[in-house]
Structure 1
Amino acid sequence: MLTRAADYRALRDGFRWTIPERYNIGVDCSDKHAPDRLALIYRAGDGSVTRYRFGDLSNASNRVANLLTAKGIARGDRVAVLLPQAPETAFTHLGVYKAGMVAVPLFTLFGEEALEYRLKACGARALVTDAASLPKIAAIRDRLPDLDLVLSVDGAGDGAEDFHALMARASDRFTPVDTGPDDPALIIFTSGTTGQPKGALHGHRVLLGHLPGVELPQEFFPAEGDLFWTPADWAWIGGLIDVLLPSLHHGVPVLAHRAGKFDPEEAFRVLADFGVRNAFMPPTALKLMRQVPDPARHGYRMRSIGSGGETLGEELLAWGRETFGLTINEFYGQTECNLVLSNCAGLMDVRPGSMGRAVPGHRVGIVDAEGRELPDGQDGNIAVKAPDPVMFLGYWNNAAATRAKFAGDWLLTGDTGRRDDDGYFWYVGRDDDVITTAGYRVGPGEIEDCLMAHPAVAMAAVVGVPDPVRTQAIKAFIVPAPGHLPSDELAEAIKAHVRTKLAAHEYPRIVAFVDSLPMTATGKIIRRELRARHE
């Protein structure tokens, strides 16, 4: 746990990892706290609210471990979790960890093809889901020879057994499997922004490795009265290990809000109604919330907000200060090695557009393709030095891809960035997102931030498209803000806005108005789809 220091360097230099020889996420997150301590607040789709104590989590996760074991699921077997934010999601994860099995979280938004690919790739033997997702599983089950057991939290049917009925018959006593920090606990599939998703296998230590990167952007989390919520799905590393599991580790209650499509007005109501003090908000959610008029009428009182996945930029930071009375702390990581860079307004200056500095405990640098460190100010691959507790064990059944992820001891993120003289890191773009135009290398982030400052722009994404003179031309895909209709005049105004604010070589020479942008389930823009649209 991070303790406050006089400045960033003192905090960084004084930090030491303490990783125990034996460690289990499930035990850590459900069994060590007082049984009557509040752990989870669940708001169901019908508006009803149920509160769960740590004793409830401990007993329920023991029942899950027992029922899976009784069904023949063994240590090391993969158990897929296809559920929204819900108590059963937490019970299942913790029970799977206690039993030494490997949890595989999956997004409920996935279609049949995406589910089939992931379930086949990891060889899942069991799956826990609900009535909403069950038809998709039923449609592909005959193509999943490894899948022996399907459980539904909404009762039996369509080839699924009744999760709660089996839970009721299982014992709430279970002796956890003895696990070490490097024993497999979790497979999270990458978001697939640059190709087919890969299963990143993590050991139990991944939670401990995340803690400094959660505590720093959440302003030295936990503090008295903290209550954490995110609209991000718990199937994403950002929802699961940036929010749910660290909160349970620290004994901080988590709000589980079962919602469909993200509603920015409802998000403000949730913050106020439940007294949420800490939040992880993806940039996409913040951009939508920015369009809500007079949000202060809801009466929320936030202590900290972290954001990551896409660059925030100056406009969103300024809006956050005005709206919440705090600085939204941007952080950075990826599925294979998460939360390694962060801002913390209470400790250091936040520089708009920067992902912050290296989180204490992580060695982050800028390297070339051979793993040689580059000097400050030079663009290169953002890389993390091994060993590191937060780092993945490897890609599931893909040793070649695992080897390709490293250059010597450096894990290559595949993101291009630079570090300045003060140790702040600046995102340029994915290797294949950087635009080469008229002899300049341009990252999309700065242009998108500038576009977002235009009052007619609700969402924006920028890609490079072939150009016979400039190598590439900059093309902007724009979702108009409410009250603004696409037109040639508006396109020219947007071009002029960027040309004036940035530079002549950075303005989009092509503007296309669209209804929506292609996004991964984690809210990242899929730029390759936009490039394909142009072709």
Structure 2
Amino acid sequence: MRAEFISDPLPAPPAAFNMAAYVLAHAERLSDKMAMQIVRPTGAERWSYGRLLAAVRGAGTGFLRAGLEPGDRVLLRLGNTPEFPVAFLGAIAAGLLPVPTSSQLTAGEITKMAAQITPRAVVAGDGIALPEGDALIIPETELRGFEALPPCDYAMGDPNRPAYLIYTSGTSGSPRAVIHAHRAVWARQMMHHGWYGLSEADRLLHAGAFNWTYTLGTGLMDPWSVGASALIPGAGVTPEQLPLLLRRFDATIFAAAPGIYRQILRQHTRLELPKLRHGLTAGEAMPEPVRAGWNAATGTRVYEALGMSECSTFISGAPDHPAPAGSSGYPQTGRRIAVLSPEGAIVARGAPGTLAVHRSDPGLFLGYWNAPEETAARFQGDWFVTGDTVSMAEDGAIYYLGRDDDMMNAGGFRVSPIEVESAMAQCADAGEVAAIELRVKADASVIALAHTGPATPEALAAHAAAHLARYKQPRLFAHVAAIPRNPNGKLNRRALRESWPGHGGPT
């Protein structure tokens, strides 16, 4: 049986469409309901749907009065404040192209990124590094004043036209600007049932930063598009404080990267969260000990999803369709997914290959900014090739094996780092673990394991011998203070290779 999933496609969006108008379609009906709370142990900043709607459409008016024109890029240099989603949706409402970026970027980093997209304006938060150049600077304080302006008209149009740009994480090279269409938010309906189990009654707390597509979509746009409430931790909130916020603000769904769940469990073996229905995780594979630990601590399940900046999440487990143990879940209804060989042929179920999304998917990106050749290189015929190595089981479940550039080669065998990490995480005192291929000679590489716990190399090697085939066993071990991660919490294997004691440099 071929490793392909085909389902009836999602109905097309209306011919005249605006992403911001879609997201806030319930705002007038739910004017007095809480749309967003920025939560802290000391309290919360509350935004009703009515206030959010006025702020977003007022921001659109403010941008246009500042001289911006449809199609102009607006670089967002803001922290985890309400102004971030207001500026993002306000720009889209007016036909501009917002570009969210991490507030942690340095002046040099953001200058290089801005040079790619030549923003017409920069919305600037206090104390956040700005790019060099002659773009119009709109301070965050000025943006707040836009809330009192008359509402802008929504710039309606073709749902396939550009709506916003988002940068990839850049862990394997330079960050790239991904162009998404207005229809991208329409496509997210497939996640509501296929991953979240989301309804208007939910209160979803997301632990990520606003600039991350995982947070923007799962934490804000999706709750608002169904009339639910979004809870976002304020600046300075630590993972250890999140259980308090989940309980105090009656969160029904919790979304975070696996590393956040891990950090919470370090401090809490039992969590009383009476309103919590389930958790969501994405960004990287969740280790089974973390999943089991959360279930034991809370009595709730965690549903994982697999996706990427170019197509958000399209593989997932869900409350009414849980994923088999060790898998990332199933293709969501409405998707068309396949697993390809290096030559572009669809492989048999059970065989490893590269995960691909059909170009007809409404959530798929339009391309990389000013990079048509690079965009074309990501397609094999009608398939967008993700770079994720997976296998599809007979029942359609997807098992993630790693990024193509993370896959390890040991003695001629391709080995998934996820498989090695899953086994080694079970070793007593191993702590967090990360596996990489490390070149030790010009013509020889070995599997190496970094770990944060006090386990000795001898204990780790013995555990590997008992649980992994010989060619999968790590040969080198290094204790590290912390596993390197990017700003969104994803494991950064490239940084780990380059910082490995005595073996710097990529393999």
The whole-number CA distance in structure 1 between the counterparts of 2:490 and 2:312 is: 15
Is the counterpart of residue 230 in structure 1 residue 206 in structure 2?
Answer: yes
Is the counterpart of residue 417 in structure 1 residue 390 in structure 2?
Answer: yes
Q: What one-letter code is carried by the residue in structure 2 that aligns with 1:187?
A: L
Q: What one-letter code is carried by the residue in structure 2 that aligns with 1:242?
A: T
Is the counterpart of residue 352 in structure 1 residue 329 in structure 2?
Answer: no
The one-character-per-residue Cα deviations of 1:471-526 (angstroms, maximum 9, x if unpaired) are 4211111122xxx4xxxx71221222222122222221111111122222221122
Q: What one-letter code is carried by the residue in structure 2 that aligns with 1:25?
A: M
Contact 1:12 1:359 in 2 (8 A): no
The CA RMSD over aligned residues, in Å, is 2.1
Query: What is aligned with 1:272?
Result: 247
The whole-number CA distance in structure 2 between the counterparts of 1:176 and 1:305 is: 34
Contact 1:370 1:408 in 2 (8 A): no
Query: What is aligned with 2:290?
Result: 316
Identical columns (%): 26
TM-score by length of 1: 0.88
Query: What is aligned with 2:144?
Result: 164
How does 1:438-477 map onto structure 2 within 5 Å? 438-467=411-440, 471-477=444-450
Query: What is aligned with 1:522?
Result: 488
The whole-number CA distance in structure 1 between the counterparts of 2:101 and 2:496 is: 25
2:76 is aligned, of 72, 75, 81, to 81
Contact 1:448 1:460 in 2 (8 A): yes
Shift of 1:369: 3.1
Is the counterpart of residue 28 in structure 1 residue 22 in structure 2?
Answer: yes
The whole-number CA distance in structure 1 between the counterparts of 2:13 and 2:24 is: 19
Structure 1 SS opposite 2:102: coil
Q: What one-letter code is carried by the residue in structure 2 that aligns with 1:208?
A: W
Query: What is aligned with 1:242?
Result: 218
Give 5+ residue unaligned stretches, structure 2. Answer: none
Q: Which moved more, 1:457-466 or 1:200-209?
A: 457-466
The whole-number CA distance in structure 2 between the counterparts of 1:317 and 1:294 is: 13
Query: What is aligned with 2:178?
Result: 200
Change (3 A) 1:106 1:369: same
Query: What is aligned with 1:507?
Result: 473
Is the counterpart of residue 286 in structure 1 residue 273 in structure 2?
Answer: no
1:331 is aligned, of 293, 305, 308, to 305
The whole-number CA distance in structure 1 between the counterparts of 2:192 and 2:446 is: 39
Query: What is aligned with 1:532?
Result: 498
Q: Which moved more, 1:94-103 or 1:519-528?
A: 519-528
Q: What one-letter code is carried by the residue in structure 2 that aligns with 1:241?
A: G
The whole-number CA distance in structure 1 between the counterparts of 2:6 and 2:401 is: 25
Q: Which moved more, 1:200-209 or 1:433-442?
A: 433-442
Q: What one-letter code is carried by the residue in structure 2 that aligns with 1:210?
A: R
Q: What one-letter code is carried by the residue in structure 2 that aligns with 1:523?
A: G
Shift of 1:320: 2.2
Aligned length, in residue pairs = 495
Structure 2 SS opposite 1:279: strand
2:37 is aligned, of 27, 36, 41, to 41
Query: What is aligned with 1:394?
Result: 367
Give 5+ residue unaligned stretches, structure 1. Answer: 1-10, 156-161
How does 1:355-394 map onto structure 2 within 5 Å? 355-394=328-367
Q: What one-letter code is carried by the residue in structure 2 that aligns with 1:30?
A: L
Shift of 1:529: 1.9
Query: What is aligned with 1:127?
Result: 122
The whole-number CA distance in structure 1 between the counterparts of 2:25 and 2:339 is: 41
Structure 2 SS opposite 1:355: coil
Is the counterpart of residue 221 in structure 1 residue 187 in structure 2?
Answer: no
1:263 is aligned, of 238, 245, 254, to 238
Shift of 1:397: 0.6
TM-score by length of 2: 0.93
Contact 2:273 2:298 in 1 (8 A): no
